[in-house]
Every structure is written in structure tokens, then in C-alpha cells.
Homo-oligomer: A and B are copies of this chain.
Amino acid sequence: MPDFGPLSFKVPEPPVRPGDEPDFSDFEVPKAGTVRRPEVDADADDMKDLATTMIRVLNRDGEAVGPWAIDMDREVLLHGLRSMLRTRAFDERMMTLQRQGKTSFYMKCTGEEAIAIGQQLALSQGDMNFPTYRQQGLLLCQDYPVVDMICQILSNARDPLRGRQLPIMYSSKKHGFFTISGNLGTQYIHAVGWAMASAIKGDTKIAAAWIGDGSTAESDFHAALVNASVYKPPVVLNIVNNQWAISSFQGLAGGDSATFAERAHGYGIPSLRVDGNDFMAVHAVSKWAIERARRNLGPTLIEWVTYRVAPHSTSDDPSKYRPREESEAWPLGDPVLRLKNHLIGLGLWSEERHLQAEAEFDEEIRVATKEAESYGVMGGGSSARDIFEDVYKDMPPHLRAQRQKMGV
């Protein structure tokens, strides 16, 4: 059809690259408190508008405003802020460990702390998260022993995973934290299956699935959404849109063509797009979605809009592909600062308590790290015998023979 001339090929590009000024001019941020709150049992069809706006509760003055500004227990608020600080202290210390050559690898969640913590505090005992590698907050706001986390990172003699997993790939059934896979997206359909099982058994427990913006492109995301659409199991489908997937910006997962929240519409699944740096919004929306699940009203998808302030991992240098100052220019601010200001406004918190808490967690993690290091670093203390166990429940003859051959 020469009438229309030759075709051309276009690959989406982020608005800026290293050397450019950060530019979020196309990024729309609705005023806090302006987005409506549907009834928990509303129809998916009647809330499609919520996938293209952004639910926000905390305004610039640190006030919680609008229909999503629900009454919150002060203990939850304080625990939320403290857990975010604790997570940040943890991340910083682990980075140091990596630089010291005591672990080979680490991944921070800086700037994204509100999301995992805000949701975990809305979940109940027995519910199950299917996390990615950037939800350490799920554990750090619970009573999971921080020394165990560090021992996992150090792959030492007390590593609960016996040295078998890459650092930070935690697992704790007791804490509703499914064993992290290095393979992107695979856990999303597990969450849906787990929730189906809970419904099949007439249980009351629900699942929370976690995935990154980039990983929504993986096929198991679709498998999960199709199954969620068909069986309507009790699952909260979280997408953490931190704008980046290693060096790829969210447009390479289709984010320039529609919001990630909109993905749900084609499956008839209700979805909400939320300011992920707003602890109050995270908690309120999580509660709403969790109640939907608990009331057998089915899955909800939530896109948490945030920014990956940290490098992808300790192996990554983001200044190679995005302006160094981009995280500073990020319009949604710092989740810790925003909740801090809110709590100070409520009279529940102060600058002094903040400094005190920072110091306290710094010290807690320092001490824990010291203890953990005493059990070994960089794989030291791990046992070669552990190679052959847990491949199967009972060790089959060929593995026994191999263990023997190895002489352990």
C-alpha cells in the first residue's frame, strides 16, 4: 500500500537520560483527598476511573484528607513509621556489609518502604505474601528475627536457608512470607493458586501477590490475572511501579500506553492506582482491598506509584542510564518524611523522637549485624552437607552416592 508510505519503528524512551535535567512534567499528581472511595462491594465496572488517577491521603502540609483518610490506630501509625526507619537502617547497614565484602549482593528498597509495610500492617496472621526481592519491609515490620535476616544475607552457619539462596531471598512461612524466587513473575500465579486453595477449603485467609512494573510483562502475570478473573479468589494483586526495571523505564513494560492499574480492566478485576509514597493511602487502600478479599468479593489489583531511589542492586550503577538527580526530583517525595510530618502534626511524634528512633534502629541493626557476623560471612560457616539435603523429602540413592563421593 504505497499510498501510506513506508512504516517506521519506534522504541519508547524515557523523557531524560544522564546529562539531562530530570523531567516529571508529564507526570500528573492529583491533589491529596480528591479521589473518591467506592463501597467495598462496588462493581469493578463502576470504578474504572480509579485506575487512571492516583489515590492520595497526605497533603503537602502533612494532613490526612479526603475519603481515604480513615481512622487509624495510633499504634499502627507509630509502628509504620518506626518500621520504615528500621528498614532504612537495615538497608544502609547491609550496603555497608556488601562494600566490606562480607556479602556478595544486596538490594535496597529505599523510597518504597511505605508500600510493603503499609500493607503488611493491614494483613492478618495466617495470610500469605508472595513477595519479590524488594519487600523486605514485610519482614521488618514483623517480629521476624533481624539476626536471621542478616545470617541469610551472609550465608553463614545460622542462615535459615542453609546457604542455598542468594542474599535477601528470604523465606518464612510463619511470617506469611513465601520463599522468594529469583525468577520474575512466577510467584504471582502462586498467590492466586494459594488464594484459590483458601477459598476451596472455606478458610478465612487471603493472599497478597507482589510484582514490579517491569515484571508485569512476564507471562505468569497474565496467567495470574486470567485465573483471578475466572475464579475470583481472595487475593490482593500488588504492582509496585517504581518506574524502573534495572535500566529499563516503565514504558518498556507498556506503561506509556496505559497505567499498570488499567491492565486489570480487561480481566474485569477492580483496580486502584495509589500514591505509594503515602503511608496513609497505602494502608487505607490495602485495608479496602483486603476487606474485599475477605468478604469473598474477589481479587483487587493495586498499582503503587513510587520511585526506585536505590540502584537496582549492588551490581548496578543507575547513573549509567538515568540522571543522578532524578530521585530528588521525584514528585511524590519521601515516604518516611511524609509520614513523619503527619505524625508530628498529630502530636504523636517529634523531631527528637525521630532522631532517637533513627539512632535506636541504627544501633539495633549494628548489634544484630555484629552477632550475625560472628556466625560467619560470605558463605563462611555454611556446610557442604547441605548441598544434598532438601532436594527431595527423602534423599534418593543417587544423591546419597554423590554425597558419599564428595566425602561429606
Instruction: Give the residue of B198, B221, B266 whose beta carbon is less than 8 angstroms from that of A262.
Output: B266
List residues of A (1-46) whose CB comes within 8 Å of B's CBs: 1-12, 44
A252 touches B265 (CB 8 A): no
The reply on A269 being an interface residue by CB < 8 A is yes
The reply on A128 being an interface residue by CB < 8 A is no
The reply on A199 being an interface residue by CB < 8 A is yes
A263 touches B267 (CB 8 A): yes
Chain B nearest Cβ from A233, distance in angstroms: 8
- Assembled-state Cα–Cα distance A166/B198 (Å): 42
Instruction: Give the residue of B198, B226, B253, B257 whose beta carbon is less than 8 angstroms from that of A254.
Output: B226
Which of A257, A266, A268 has the most chain B CB within a 10 Å cutoff?
Answer: A266
The reply on A96 being an interface residue by CB < 8 A is no
The reply on A374 being an interface residue by CB < 8 A is no
A231 touches B4 (CB 8 A): no
A contact face: mostly helix, strand, loop, or mixed: helix
B199 touches A7 (CB 8 A): yes
The reply on A222 being an interface residue by CB < 8 A is yes
B266 touches A230 (CB 8 A): no
The reply on A264 being an interface residue by CB < 8 A is yes
Chain A 245-258 per-residue mask, 1 if CB under 8 angstroms from chain B, else 0 = 00000011110111
- Assembled-state Cα–Cα distance A220/B218 (Å): 10
Please indicate the chain B residues that have their CB under 8 angstroms from the CB of A254 in the complex: 226, 229-230, 267-268
B198 touches A296 (CB 8 A): no
A253 touches B266 (CB 8 A): no
Instruction: Give the residue of B6, B203, B233 whose beta carbon is less than 8 angstroms from that of A203.
Output: B6
The reply on A385 being an interface residue by CB < 8 A is no
B9 touches A196 (CB 8 A): yes
Chain B nearest Cβ from A396, distance in angstroms: 32
Do A7 and B267 contact each other (CB < 8 Å), given the known contacts A217-B226, A294-B1? no
The reply on A356 being an interface residue by CB < 8 A is no
Chain B nearest Cβ from A195, distance in angstroms: 8
A7 touches B202 (CB 8 A): yes
Chain B nearest Cβ from A40, distance in angstroms: 11
B6 touches A202 (CB 8 A): yes
Please indicate the chain B residues that have their CB under 8 angstroms from the CB of A2 in the complex: 204
Please indicate the chain B residues that have their CB under 8 angstroms from the CB of A256 in the complex: 230, 268
List 20 additional contacts besides A217-B222, A221-B222, A258-B265; criterion CB under 8 Å: A1-B204, A1-B294, A4-B204, A4-B295, A7-B198, A7-B203, A7-B294, A8-B199, A11-B231, A229-B257, A229-B258, A230-B254, A230-B257, A254-B267, A256-B268, A257-B267, A258-B266, A258-B267, A263-B266, A266-B267
Closest 9 CB pairs of A and B: A257-B268, A219-B219, A222-B222, A263-B266, A229-B254, A258-B268, A6-B202, A9-B199, A7-B199
